[in-house]
Amino acid sequence: MPIENSRIGGLYKLSVSERRELLAEMSGMSPEQVKAWADSGELDEESADRMIENVVGTYSLPIGVATNFVIDGSHYAIPFVLEEPSVVAAASNMAKRCLAKGGFSSDNDDPVMIGQIQVVNCEDPEGAKDSIISNRDDLVSRCNEVDPILVKFGGGCRDVTARVIETGSGAMVIVHILVDCRDAMGANAVNTMAETIAPTIESITGGTVILRIISNLAVHRLARVSAVFTPEEMSDKGDSKQGSEVIDGVVQAYHFAEADPFRATTHNKGIMNAISAVAIACGQDWRAIESGAHSYASHERIYGSLTKWSKDDDGNLVGSIELPMAVGLVGGAVRVHPAAQANVALLGVESADELAKVMAAAGLAQNLGALRALATVGIQAGHMKLHVRNMAVTAGAEGEEIDRVASMLRERGSRITQASVMAALEELRSQ
């Protein structure tokens, strides 16, 4: 179950070990799960060697926790795994700003994935397509015979469709099997079904089946999350007038991304900063999620924003996100990687649908954080304040010097550059 309250004040002030203890107590994590967080080499070599080929070691990234998330009335502390500063802070900040209007609301599709079967060398492609549609019920039944366990839990093949496309190799009949994967991502189930019915497809069409593979453009498995932000909450200090100006800037920034693929690419990258970070944290196939998201951003349109932002009649900012979200809690790395198991335990999610809405909410919050920064002080101001510690290390700072240099530059409020960091370090050492 999710935690009782995601409003964890002062979390950033605690030591790493203190954060672990507090979050473990709040979420009911086991000592083994907490240890998986604490062990920098949480994945032992034997387990790693079973996951991929030619293993030589493991690679660690920080796990941060985003706070203040209320989604459909439940509180979530959300684990992020990434190397980029300001992402966790920005997402937490924006999540806090929509609490006055109840937080985030979700409306997800059922977890239906698409399996594609490519049929070539059909003498009559349109007739072959019609034959597939005529045999739909039989094909659905054959698919469901493959995975009776999935069917038992309410999933299974729901439909079979077909279309004809023109290609450089001539006309092809493309068969889609639509499979409800329940709490699995679904690749194994879908691919097995597609391969199983391939001979039947050949018999029906008189053609030759080549590819039998899942599609990551999961247009039937969309996650949708929305939130409302008041002018007061969008301001720095509860100033409604200033907040309204911020909202206007956010909407204009969104319109730029919606109209221009060059802007939309970076706009959507910011969204995926959060979504991919949660996906990695929870042992998901983030490459599939990334490809599906960017494909959907150009699906039946010019590449544009995955989010929408507008102002309602009361002057509030209304934001929403819609994108494919093929995630699962059954099988895959989430069942093998100790830290992924710990992160899922922290979240308290009990279904793939619940994980999908958490990830979508994180993406929406992160997008707003970037848009608000761009529309006000600029993206570098907050980013560089958090990045300055890394810059201090690069400049040669060690131990306590790192935080002291960072504090010096933050207090001065001037533009932070590598040159200013090096100068501050020299100044500190000359004292």
Q: Kindly give, in sequence order, each residue whose CB lies less than 8 Å from that of residue 178, ignoring residues fewer than 6 positions away.
A: 112, 113, 114, 157, 158, 159, 160, 161, 220
Question: Which residue in this structure is represented by tokens 């070691």?
Answer: 57
Which of helix, strand or coil describes residue 277? helix
Buried/exposed code over 98-118 (b: 16+ C-beta within 10 A; e: otherwise): bbebebbbbebbebbbbbbbb
Residues annotated as catalytic are: 84, 269, 285, 383
Tell me how far apart the alpha carbons of residues 394 and 77 are, in angstroms, rounded to a whole number.
31
Long-range CB contact pairs, 25-33, < 8 A, 24+: 26/77, 27/3, 27/77, 27/345, 27/346, 27/347, 27/348, 28/345, 29/342, 29/345, 29/346, 30/345, 32/338, 33/338, 33/341, 33/342, 33/345
Which of helix, strand or coil describes residue 339? helix
Cα torsion 107, 110, 111, 114 to 10°: value is: -120
Tell me how far apart the alpha carbons of residues 155 and 179 are, in angstroms, rounded to a whole number.
7
69 within 8 A of 76, measured Cβ to Cβ:
yes
Hey, which residues does 76 pair with through a beta bridge?
A: 69
Tokens for 202, please give them. Answer: 């050949």
Tell me how far apart the alpha carbons of residues 414 and 221 are, in angstroms, rounded to a whole number.
47
Question: Can you state the angle between helices 261-281 and 87-97, rounded to 10 degrees?
Answer: 100
Tokens for 77, please give them. Answer: 């502390």
201 within 8 A of 215, measured Cβ to Cβ:
no
Q: What is the CA radius of gyration of the chain?
A: 25
